[in-house]
Amino acid sequence: MSELVGLLLAGSAPGGELSEIAGRSAVQALPVANRPLIAHALEAMRDCGIREVGVLVSPDTLGEMEALAGDGSEHGLQVGYIPDSARPGLVPALAAAASFVGERSVLVYRGDGLLTGPLAPAAEEFRRIGPDAMLLAVRPPRHAGGALAGRRLLHLVGDRTLPRSEHVLAGAHFFTAPVVEAATRLLAAGGRPTIAEALGVVLDEGGDIETRWVDGWWHCDGTVDRLLEANRIVLDALETSLDDVDVSAAHIEGRASIHPTAVLERSTVRGPAAIGAGAVLLDTFVGPYTSIGDNVRLEGAEIQHSIVLPGATIRHPGGRLESSLVGPEATIGRDFALPAALRLRVGRRADVSLS
């Protein structure tokens, strides 16, 4: 089989309210376990043995993606950028990347999502059996396993919105050059061709299409709860990293990744949890599924199942924070002066729950 390259789709529109809270304009820049979504996608590709990735960007996302991914060397990759303003969809994406892909095979990965399991086994199978395409579809909970025949799956999924009871595509797929060529021809002919139509052309020309089930695909829907779900998915696979960390004045339970420059005094971290560089935890409890960003300061706080972004400060909030997203440089605290009062500075469509 020809060389396998990566195509990361990062041309989505700004992430709306969630991106405003997180201080990021592009969905792919949203933080999950202290790292942007694009970093998780790039490393999933690297783990498949891919060494060259083209990032498909729009004018709105180019600058931020370049700042986050650079030339890819941080992730062991060679990364280039493919500016394009085409409408969303796999067919326009493949057509826009045709020159980059050339005669090679390509793993297409949506940058606004996460595969909930490893991708490398599928890449190994794609290389081994050599089909023209391998589609990954999300397994319904009631399904016991197995794979659908290619033609049947194409009738069910394509590029359209389907009822919950039907099978849907995940956000990662493998294609060869003939599929890219078919997509390019269809798009040039006009209309709004779907990936099902492009694969139908390949099948009619004697090609081979395979489908495989995956356990899940997470994608961003612009809500805080959905971002917290992604944080949980990534932290579930977290490996403990405490090298050179001074935990003599702290108590660590379960899996935790703590940066060597973090300071923990009279604090408990119950994993899975991630603590970023320069973070300071004083008299604090950090519970499971929590990511504490770089240079965050926590004093007298209890927090779990939450994300605290870089530079934020939380001092003696007076209750446990749960299922929360705290934006960069934000400050949460209590003023002990009398008379006692609540003082809030709340942005548009914020959600504040006091108990």
Q: What is the pLDDT of residues 210-227, one digit of tens each?
A: 888 888 899 888 888 999
Cα 70 to Cα 82: distance, rounded to the nearest angstrom: 13
| Burial degree of 101 (CB within 10 A; 0-12, 13-18, 19+) | buried
As a whole number, mean pLDDT of residues 193-212 equals 86
| Average pLDDT score over residue span 75-95 | 88
Going from the C-alpha of 52 to that of each of 16, 39, 58, 110, 247, the distances in angstroms are 31, 14, 20, 16, 39
* Mean pLDDT, residues 303-328 taken together: 93
Does 203 have pLDDT greater than 90?
no
Mean per-residue pLDDT for 137-166?
48
Q: How far from 293 is each of 223, 245, 260, CA to CA, in Å?
A: 19, 16, 13
Task: Bin 23: left if φ > 0, else alpha if -120 < ψ < 50, else beta.
Answer: left
Question: What does the alpha-carbon distance between residue 228 and residue 231 come to, in Å, rounded to a whole number?
Answer: 5
CA 276-272-292 angle, to 5 degrees, is 25
What's the pLDDT band for 84 if we cut at 50, 70, 90? confident
Residue 155, Cβ density class (10 Å: 0-12 exposed, 13-18 middle, ≥19 buried): exposed
More confident residue, 35 or 2: 35
Q: What average pLDDT does the segment 193-204 reach? A: 85
The SS3 call for residue 353 is: coil
- pLDDT at 153 (0 to 100): 46
- pLDDT attached to residue 19: 73
Using 50, 70 and 90 to split pLDDT, how confident is the model at 26? confident
- Given a cut of 80, whether residue 165 has pLDDT beyond it is no
Q: What pTM does this model have?
A: 0.87
Asked if pLDDT for residue 180 goes beyond 90, the answer is yes
Taking each helix axis as running N to C, give the angle between helix 177-188 and helix 195-204, from 0 to 180 degrees, rounded to the nearest 10. 120
When pLDDT is cut at 50, 70 and 90, the band that residue 342 belongs to is low
Q: How far, in Å, are 153, 168, 172 from residue 136 at the CA level?
A: 10, 9, 6
What percentage of the chain reaches a pLDDT higher than 70? 84
- 88-97 per-position pLDDT tens digit: 789 999 999 9
Structure tokens at 207: 């090609």
Measured between alpha carbons, how far apart are the two ends of the chain, in Å? 60
User: Mean per-residue pLDDT for 285-292?
Assistant: 98
pLDDT average, residue stretch 183-189: 94
The residue with greater pLDDT, 164 or 276, is 276
Q: What is the mean pLDDT of the chain?
A: 86
**Residue 147, pLDDT above cutoff 70:** no
Please state the rounded mean pLDDT for residues 58-78.
Answer: 90
Provide the pLDDT for residue 164: 39
Q: Is the pLDDT of residue 12 over 90?
A: no
Q: Pick from 170, 167, 195, 154: which is nearest to 109 by CA? A: 170
Distance CA 48, CA 28 (A): 20
List pLDDT tens digits, range 92-124.
999 999 999 999 999 999 998 999 889 999 999
Sign of CA dihedral 205, 208, 211, 217: negative
pLDDT of residue 13: 57
Mean pLDDT of 300-323: 93
Nearby residues of 55 by Cβ (< 8 Å), 6 or more positions away: 8, 10, 38, 65, 69, 79, 80, 81, 82, 111
